[in-house]
Structure 1
Amino acid sequence: MSISLPPSFSYTLPASNVFVIGLAGGADSGKEAFCRVLIEQLQKNQVVDSSKALLLHLHDFYRELTEDDRVRAANGLYNFDHPDAFDWDLLAQVMDDLKERVATKFPKFDFATKSRSYETRPKDLESPSVVLLEGIFVLYSQRIRDRLNMKLFVDVDDDARLVNRVARKVAEPSPDSVDHILTEYIRFVKPAFDDFIQPTKKWADIIIPRGVENITAIELITSHAADLLGRQQQPNSTRPSRINSSSTVLQEMLSTPTSNASSTCPSPRSLSRTAVLNSAGGNNGSDPCSRSSLNSSPIPRKDVLSGSTDSLYKPVPE
């Protein structure tokens, strides 16, 4: 029995031998924690060692702020939760340098000073086998999506993300007041998620409910990366691919007995264009034969800056 996999999924290691995983999701959904657990599992399973796994943060690729921007940021009026706040050209260049194994400098954004500096990684990190890029808008830009071999989306409840945000902000060395945190959330964070981040879920190969708590998703992704990197390191190996093997973790979790193996429509529990993983298995609630909901649609845009202190962050037509 074969498994129906997302058509956009990259089944082979790219020619550059660098496997790039992109992880998107709402603010404070635990994206960085998920990436770190995934790296630990890759190392634990001897897929890569510590010098061959690189974690990039989208928030380090914020644009340089002008003096006016700094004034707005100091007054809580600069919107860091908008696609236009990021330097997509710089991110694309760094990703290309990594794939081409060209020495590059990595940006580092300091939120205290609202300034960007650059750092050079140790030489043993210049040629990673696995690169993980995490951030709220990782799946927003097609230029970046085209550079990803695996696209993930962490799906965490809005209330849980707000609780995580409040807990994180009040625990910082210079904590914000709860009123400030909630105002920022209402003005920038929540509208950005609804208008920009949530729509990018359709580009994900795998949607991960509950984030880092979803052990099943971590095992699946680790297994897939191990399969690709393992075959690349052992080109003469006759070991069958886990994706095609009838005894794989993938099939145990996602396949079900069927009396019509030749059916052109995959089983409801087969991986569809967007695979939703949870510990109990199951599908994403949509018709596996339907692709109408997957058609690309334009994502609305907004001004990166709010107009005045008491103005709410509202859509502006193009």
Structure 2
Amino acid sequence: MSIFLPPSFNYNLPSAGVFFIGLAGGADSGKETLCKVLIERLQKSQVVDSSKALLLHLHDFYRELTDEDRVRVASGLYNFDHPDAFDWDLLAEVMDDAKEGKLTRIPKFDFSTKRRSYEMRSSHVESPSVVLLEGILVLYSQKIRDLLNMKLFIDVDDDVRLANRVARKVAEPNPDTTDHILTEYVRFVKPAFDDFVQPSKKWADIIIPRGAENETAIELITSHAADLLGRQQLSNSTRPSRMNSSTGLLGMSNTGSNTSSACPSPRPVSRVSAVHSEAGSRSSMPSSPVPRKDVLSDSTDSLYKPVPE
């Protein structure tokens, strides 16, 4: 069985020579694990060198905390899952630097001190060919979505994510109590997922149930990304997507011998029910700019507002 997708589902080769993949999903859904699997598969495809794949974490782009913020953190009242907790301008700047091949400094957020430092990158990763960005709100900001070539959303059951969170928190060097973990989840994590993370799924090109366990989804994503990158290396210019817009079939139409020789059609992928595309409904939806709200408000109601339509 071949994969049929709506005609509006369309990728273009990245003109800047950098392929950006964004992966969003709920907290503790296995986003980082899936990104590492994708990087490994892309490297095995031999179109991505091990030194040219870069993984960025949204949680490293928390904004600098003020003195008032730190008081809130100490009291357990600061919401790290709210969109206002992130420095979106800095993230866009780092992605623009990666696109231009001048990436030298990447922020690193220290959760023990709640302070941001910068990692100095060596020259061999200053010009990555693939950049993966993972985080709960990767698809929330239009500014960031516009920089992504492929947008993914990992869909994992709420109970599984909560179980993963408890297991991770109690295994840390300074473990939290179960009561503290559940209180934090109910007060911040779950409402933020319902109001911000889950609605951002509508912007995803591909939704991945079960995460890194979904071999069919991983095969589809890596083969498509590798094909785009391989054709870009051959042509060194922007080419039409391998999506046949007239039929919605994943694969290039054989319009000429030169095209077919440089861009072989991918083999069909079976069991496609494991991967869902929402791009057809996404095309008519308006953008959702990041709203400004008071992340420090004492009122829980003021922290959580639906994603603007």
When the two structures are superposed, what TM-score results if normalisation uses the length of structure 2?
Answer: 0.83
Shift of 1:13: 2.1
Sequence identity percentage? 69
Shift of 1:233: 1.9
- Please give the alpha-carbon distance, in whole angstroms, between the structure 2 residues aligned to 1:147 and 1:202: 17
Map Cα deviations across residues 284-310 of structure 1 (whole Å, 9 max, x no partner): 7x9x9x7499633768875312417xx
Q: Show the counterpart of 1:4.
A: 5
2:168 partner letter? R
- Please give the alpha-carbon distance, in whole angstroms, between the structure 1 residues aligned to 2:115 and 2:104: 19
Q: Which has the higher helix share?
A: 2
2:104 partner letter? T
Contact 2:52–2:129 (8 Å) recurs in 1 = yes
Contact 2:94–2:103 (8 Å) recurs in 1 = no
Unpaired segments ≥5 residues, structure 2: 243-249, 255-264
| SS of aligned partner of 1:199 | helix
| SS of aligned partner of 1:106 | strand
Shift of 1:8: 5.4
Map Cα deviations across residues 220-260 of structure 1 (whole Å, 9 max, x no partner): 11101111111122239xxx957226963456555xxxxxx
| SS of aligned partner of 1:79 | coil
Map Cα deviations across residues 168-220 of structure 1 (whole Å, 9 max, x no partner): 00000000000000000000000000000101000000000001111111111
When the two structures are superposed, what TM-score results if normalisation uses the length of structure 1?
Answer: 0.81
Aligned ranges 1:1-318 → 2 under 5 Å? 3-5=4-6, 7=8, 9-10=10-11, 12-235=12-235, 243-244=251-252, 248-250=266-268, 252=270, 254=272, 278=274, 291=281, 295-296=285-286, 302-307=293-298, 315=304
| SS of aligned partner of 1:95 | helix
Unpaired segments ≥5 residues, structure 1: 255-276
Instruction: Assess, with a 3 A threshold, how the Cα gap between structure 1 residues 174 and 48 changes in structure 2: closer, same or farther.
Output: same
State the superposition RMSD in angstroms: 2.9
Map Cα deviations across residues 267-295 of structure 1 (whole Å, 9 max, x no partner): xxxxxxxxxx51xx6x67x9x9x749963
Shift of 1:5: 4.6
Instruction: Assess, with a 3 A threshold, how the Cα gap between structure 1 residues 191 and 69 changes in structure 2: closer, same or farther.
Output: same
Runs of 4 or more consecutive aligned structure 1 residues displaced over 6 Å after TM superposition? none
Contact 2:203–2:282 (8 Å) recurs in 1 = no
Larger relative contact order (C-alpha < 8 A, sep ≥ 6)?
Answer: 2
- Count of matched residue positions in the alignment of Structure 1 and Structure 2: 284
- Please give the alpha-carbon distance, in whole angstroms, between the structure 2 residues aligned to 1:306 and 1:158: 26
Of 181-190 and 295-304, more deviation after overlay is shown by: 295-304
